[in-house]
Structure 1
Amino acid sequence: MNKIYLYALFLIGTITLVSCNDKDEIISIEANETDIVLEDALLASSDNVGKAFYRMPDSDEFSKIPQDPKNPLTAAKVELGKFLFHETGIAQNPSMNIGMNTYSCASCHHAKAGFQACMPQGIGEGGTGFGQIGESRVKNPAYPEKSIDTQPIRSPSAMNLAYQTLVLWNGQFGGTHQNIGTEASWTEDTPKATNKLGFEGIETQAIAGRDVHRLMIDKIFMSNVGNYRQMYTAAYDESSFNNPVALKDNSALAIAAYERSLLSNQSPFQLWLQGDYNAMLEEEKKGAILFFGKAKCASCHNGPSLANMDFHAIGMKDLTKGSYGNLQVYNVDETNVEHKGRGGFTNKPEDLYKFKVPQLYNLKDSPFYGHGASFTEIRDVIEYKNKAIPENSNVSSGQLDPAFAPLNLTSEEVDLLTLFIKNGLYDPNLERYVPSKLPSGLGFPNNDTQTRIDLGF
């Protein structure tokens, strides 16, 4: 009897308890000294909110995911958006006929690269090949350089977009929040005019991107491919199906709804926040303590996605035309307004060379960092901020953010920070957000011949 009693006490001391918080929080009794120090650091960096300030909801807890009031999340809408995001069958208006049905939204934002491109510059139409994680996509030789679909800046991640009210490096998409007052920059007959619809950034970009990338989403519905019509009517009022404008916009809004569900909530740090104190290694926890403490990373990278909606000038290089290892960058020159950051959108001198603070999850999936892809190692980015020596000669000292100053971290501390960001913030199961196949039967994220070979379609 005594042995049974002692064994029961042992179990009580090692199992976890469930509290009655807003989201059931699993609290382990086995927290060690490092865990307690990290919890204190989180309290200090979150105005005493603590772990709850950083926790992400599950991807189907729609009431807890930040969303545009004009585009409320539903399971049916997210499911429709998941297929449309990956659907190469909506590439129905390419600049060259050989591009028909060969690319999708996921061409530049796919799960294997942490919803980035695994390249310094994503290629939509006019690309060929994929490799294993998107590392081998190149320009199709049949395309003139000017005809391929590229952007003069690194493709940002679509992960954790729900926590961004404006999107793109310069925040130009979104007709709300910080973009109130920038109406003079919503130039007519340009994608920025989509801001006039009054949606937040994700929704605005989804609607604008449909036309920028020549995606005819409505056409796949009208051709009765697969069960798309049934998915649409499950997500929206059936009467809108016969309204061409509503059909196009609602389909784009479904893509935006899906993007809001892309949360890295299975990463070790997120599991630790839920009470699994064994989810992170000791070194990763020590890196997190530095992140939220001495290294001052959380002064910008804060909240659930470890980002914010501020713009800062820290002097990183721009994307430039030419070679990045074995990869090439196209259609970029010194006149690209994107190189001016927020100032290129607002036309305010005080905004020049300021770029939006990016989210930090799943960075190791795509080995290019900074708006200009000028770094290929996470540790090098940390060391850049540690030394605070700008690399872009176009950014004067007077334009640099005052917070861009030496951190005086030791090499060991930089290593610990790297471990936290590289591994502690890595969600290993992003394939849960990807369909097993498309209703159209086409390949994805690209459907060109070489990609089909690479991925074994």
Structure 2
Amino acid sequence: MAWKVGAAVSAALTMGIAVSVAQAPAPQRAAWRAEYRAPESIPFPESNPYSRVKAELGRRLFFDPILSGDRTRSCASCHQPDLAWTDGLRRALGRTGGDMEFHTPSLLNLAWQEGRFGWDGKFRDLEAVAFGPISAPGNMNLSAEEAVRRLSADPGYAAAFAGAFPDPAVTRERIEAALATFERLIVSAPAPFDAWVAGDEGAISEAAKRGFDLFNGRANCAACHSGWSFSDGSFHDVGVGRGEDVGRGRFVPTSQALQYAFKTPGLRELRGRAHFMHDGSLDSLAAVIDLYDRGGIDRPSRSSEIRPLNLSAAEKADILAFLDTLNAGAASSVAVADIPAAAPKP
């Protein structure tokens, strides 16, 4: 079941970027552009179909500290709408003040991600993610049993669950379903890149167009960052993890290819994210491009798609110009708050 994305996102914003020296486009540019067309609908699984009341319940749960042991943290404590649904920190801040294991991932466009979730793939699907942070002692520190008890005892929540599900009982599975329904509505707004893909040649600069050609061609970024959401949803060793930080390899120790492999993140709204990679170890997009240019750590598990690129300074600047066109601006970070009330019925 799906509903129109147009009801969920705001109008496209354009940005002016200086035009550089003209250069012939790559022969494949038109075909590449077609692969990035915006989808017409947001997909929802048959096991957890969309409904307005369930989405609104999920939104309320997402922002409510009732789901933390001491009632001081919520999902939004780490996934902040005005920071591209992350937290702006190198690594997520733990309940007692120390850093948690990973950099907080953005929640943008999760509806289009397939396969397992989490930097290391520890979650089978989006529904399974919720109680990872909720029950973690270093994060929200609330057991599933206590979460069910609290919500059942709250008259407002009891009524909300009764309205969102066939019977009034509050259960762990229904908490997960409501949160996942809301999170699938967190969709990035149209960016200048989308206007260009739709046919507006003036929406992005010539430098950004050259960067697009590099992204899909010689730089090979699209091997992993593919499609409208710029993620293949898979796990790759890009030459970052070290020591015991083996990512997906923790769960699949017999697979050489999955040692030091981490989930491919999407690339939209990067301007608001501040730190990059699963461990937050890189502070700028320029540093990320330098990493890929070097090829990361050369080892047996490193993805076959990763190799030294020997990009020039001008080529790196063009790729940065392209990535900047994937930013729609603040509107995409806050528009989701109005989605449950505005979304059409399925």
**TM-score calculated relative to the size of structure 1:** 0.62
Shift of 1:275: 3.9
Secondary structure of the 1:302 match is coil
TM-superposed deviation, 1:68: 2.6
CA apart distance, 1:343: 0.8
Distance 1:73 1:344, change over 3 A: same
Who is 1:280 aligned against? 204
Q: Could you say if the C-alpha distance between residues 208 and 152 of structure 1 is closer, same or farther in structure 2, counting changes exceeding 3 Å?
A: closer
User: What is aligned with 1:83?
Assistant: 60
Say whether the 8 Å CA contact 1:287–1:416 is kept in structure 2: yes
- Aligned match of 1:292: 216
> Which amino acid is 2:336 matched to?
Y
Aligned to 1:110: 80
Q: Residues 282 and 229 of structure 1: is their aligned pair in 2 closer, same or farther, counting only changes over 3 Å?
A: farther
Q: Which amino acid aligns with 1:427?
A: A
Instruction: Map 1:76-225 onto structure 2 (within 5 A).
Output: 76-91=53-68, 93=69, 100-126=70-96, 139=97, 151-165=100-114, 166-174=116-124, 201-212=125-136, 213-215=140-142, 216-224=146-154
Match of residue 410, structure 1, among 287, 290, 312: 312
Identity score, percent: 27
One-letter amino acid of the structure 1 residue matched with residue 217 of structure 2? G
Q: Deviations over 1:128-147 (max 9, x none)?
A: xxxxxxxxxxx2xxxxx5xx
Kindly provide the amino acid, as one letter, of the partner of residue 388 in structure 1.
G
CA offset at residue 256 of structure 1? Answer: 0.8
Which residue type is aligned with residue 46 of structure 2?
Answer: P
Q: What SS does the corresponding residue of 1:272 show, helix, strand or coil?
A: helix
Query: Matches of 2:54 and 2:93 in 1, distance apart?
Result: 27
- Aligned CA distance change for structure 1 residues 218 and 370 (closer, same or farther; 3 Å): same
Letter paired with 2:337: V
Q: Give the secondary-structure state (helix, strand or coil) at the position aligned to 1:107.
A: helix
Residue type at the aligned position of 2:29: A
Instruction: Report the counterpart of residue 38 of structure 2 in structure 1.
Output: 56
For residues 283 and 37 of structure 1, the distance between their equivalents in structure 2, rounded to whole angstroms, comes to 11
Partners of 1:173 and 1:122 in 2: how far apart? 18
* Residue of structure 2 aligned with 1:424, choices 307, 316, 325: 325
Q: Secondary structure, in 3 states, of the residue corresponding to 1:340?
A: coil
The letter of the residue matching 1:108 is C
Spell out, residue by residue over 1:101-138, the C-alpha distance to the aligned partner (whole angstroms, 9 max, x if none): 21111111111221112101112533xxxxxxxxxxxx
CA distance in 2, matches of 1:255, 1:38: 43
Output one character per residue of 1:145-182: Cα deviation in whole Å (capped at 9) or x when no partner. Answer: 5xxxx5312122211112222111121211xxxxxxxx
TM-superposed deviation, 1:424: 0.8
Which amino acid is the alignment partner of residue 419 of structure 1?
Answer: A
Task: Give the corresponding residue for 2:17.
Answer: none
Kindly indicate whether structure 1 or structure 2 has the higher relative contact order, using CA contacts under 8 Å at least 6 residues apart: 2
CA contact (8 A) 1:207 1:253 kept: no
2:38 and 2:189 map into 1 onto residues whose CA distance is 6
Deviations 1:238-282 (A, max 9, x none): x2x23x43xx32122111111111111322222333444443233
Secondary structure, counterpart of 1:369 in structure 2: coil
- Extract unaligned runs of 5+ from structure 2: 7-21, 340-346
2:290 to 383, 389, 413: 383
Seen in structure 2, the aligned counterparts of structure 1 residues 404 and 159 have a Cα distance that, compared at 3 Å, is same
Mapped contact 2:92–2:101 kept (Cα < 8 A): no
- Corresponding letter in the other structure for 1:170: D
C-alpha separation in 2, matches of 1:157 and 1:308: 15
Matched, 1:400 2:302: yes
Q: Secondary structure at the match of 1:65?
A: strand
Match for residue 344 of structure 1?
A: 250
> Is 2:39–2:228's contact at 8 Å kept on the other side of the alignment?
no
1:235 paired with 2:167, answer no
Once the 2 structures are TM-superposed, how far is the Cα of residue 284 of structure 1 from its aligned partner? 2.2
CA 1:111–1:42: 2 relative to 1, 3 Å: farther
**2:51 pairs with one of 62, 71, 74:** 74
How many pairs were matched up?
A: 311
Match of 2:174 in 1: 250
Which consecutive segments of 4 or more residues in structure 1 shift more than 6 A? none
Distance in 2, Cα, partners of 1:84 & 1:404: 40
Amino acid at match of 1:167: F
Name the aligned partner's letter for residue 67 of structure 1: F
Which amino acid in the other structure matches residue 302 of structure 2? L
Q: What code does the residue aligned with 1:434 have? A: A
Contact 1:108 / 1:155 at 8 angstroms: preserved in 2?
yes
- Alpha-carbon distance between aligned partners in 1 of 2:25 and 2:150, rounded to the nearest angstrom: 54
Whether the 8 Å CA contact 2:224–2:264 is kept in 1: the answer is: yes
Provide the C-alpha distance between the structure 1 equivalents of 2:93 and 2:209, rounded to a whole number of angstroms.
37
- 5+ residue gaps, structure 1, are 1-21, 25-33, 59-63, 94-99, 127-138, 140-144, 175-200, 319-333, 391-395, 437-457
Question: Whole-Å Cα distance in 1 between the matches of residues 83 and 182 of structure 2?
Answer: 17
The alpha-carbon deviation at position 417 of structure 1 amounts to 0.6
Max Rg structure: 1
Q: Which amino acid aligns with 2:88?
A: C
> Aligned partners of 1:353, 1:88: CA distance in 2, in Å?
34
Alignment partners' CA distance in 1, 2:130 and 2:165: 17
**How far did 1:378 drift?**
0.2
